[in-house]
Amino acid sequence: MRAITLAATVAAAGLALPAMAQTRVAQFDINNLKFQARDNAGAPVPFGGVSHTGSITMADDVGITELLSVAMQTGGGPFVPDPLFNGILTSASVTINLLNGMVTGGALSFDVNLGPANGGDRYSAVIGAGGFVSPFVGGGFKIEALSTTGAFSDPNFAGVAIPDFFSAQSTPPFLLGAFLAFKVNPDGSGSGYNDMDVFVQNIPTPGSLGLLALSGVLATRRKRK
């Protein structure tokens, strides 16, 4: 089952493809998130790899976790880091629920420059079902899944202009996204550090087109990691 790509899973749903539209996809490159495997009761446990059942939690570790860049892909082109980005990651929280190594849901959020309550910014999203844990070529594991209901706290994210994302997030099906957590190589207690790429698309495309596009982004990033 894990051999089935996210793109193939979406295509199998038989949803109609709308007309192609110009899109922008933002990528957040986060390094050194603190990782902990947990059981169904939320207690820390050793990580079960591709068959883990329970959850994975990730959080920032002050002085260690970094948001290295915010890059933008336009119209399917390359990701280009935005030179105006001036954010410092000040909070991050990720929960990934798993059943036998398959993602069943979760949530993610991260703040820069102390978050919206202190003049900074936030991005958050709901993690959807259908992703999975798999071996990582560089050692350890990777976890990937699509996300929905993405939301920014305002139309400028630490210097990066995102008015198109901000205006689209109130329109169903809201902002679609994805994430790829990699270098997941916890110790015997199920803890450690990992890196994560988080993606979000500016056009809330209905049907499978947006999901297929984001699955393609994940496939491209997997090859480069």
The predicted model gives 143-159 an average pLDDT of 96
Let me know if residue 191 belongs to a domain: yes
For residue 168, the model assigns a pLDDT of 92
Q: Report residue 214's pLDDT band, with 50, 70 and 90 as the boundaries.
A: low
Q: Residue 3 above 50 pLDDT?
A: no
For residue 216, the model assigns a pLDDT of 57
Written as one string, the DSSP assignment of 80-92 is EE-TT----EEEE
Let me know if residue 192 belongs to a domain: yes
The whole domain housing 171 covers 6-10+28-224
* pLDDT, tens digit (0-9, with 9 covering 90-100), for 104-147: 999 999 999 999 999 999 999 999 998 999 999 888 999 999 99
For residue 172, the model assigns a pLDDT of 81
Domain count of the fold of the chain: 1
* pLDDT, tens digit (0-9, with 9 covering 90-100), for 85-110: 999 999 999 999 999 999 999 999 99
Let me know if residue 107 belongs to a domain: yes
The gap from C-alpha 88 to its chain's centroid, in whole angstroms, comes to 18
Between 111 and 210, name the one with better pLDDT.
111
Phi-psi region of 105 (alpha: psi -120 to 50; beta: other; left: phi over 0): left
For residue 4, the model assigns a pLDDT of 32
3-state secondary structure of 4: coil
The predicted model gives 57-63 an average pLDDT of 96
Let me know if residue 18 belongs to a domain: no
Let me know if residue 111 belongs to a domain: yes
User: Residue 193 is which amino acid?
Assistant: Y
User: Residue 125 is which amino acid?
Assistant: A
Let me know if residue 139 belongs to a domain: yes
Let me know if residue 127 belongs to a domain: yes
Q: Report residue 204's pLDDT band, with 50, 70 and 90 as the boundaries.
A: low
Name, in order, each residue with C-beta under 8 angstroms of 198's C-beta and a sequence gap of 6 or more.
Answer: 27, 28, 30, 108, 110, 123, 125, 177, 178, 179
Let me know if residue 21 belongs to a domain: no
* pTM listed for this prediction: 0.84
For residue 212, the model assigns a pLDDT of 44
For residue 225, the model assigns a pLDDT of 54
- Using the 8-state DSSP alphabet, how is residue 44 labeled? B
For residue 174, the model assigns a pLDDT of 87
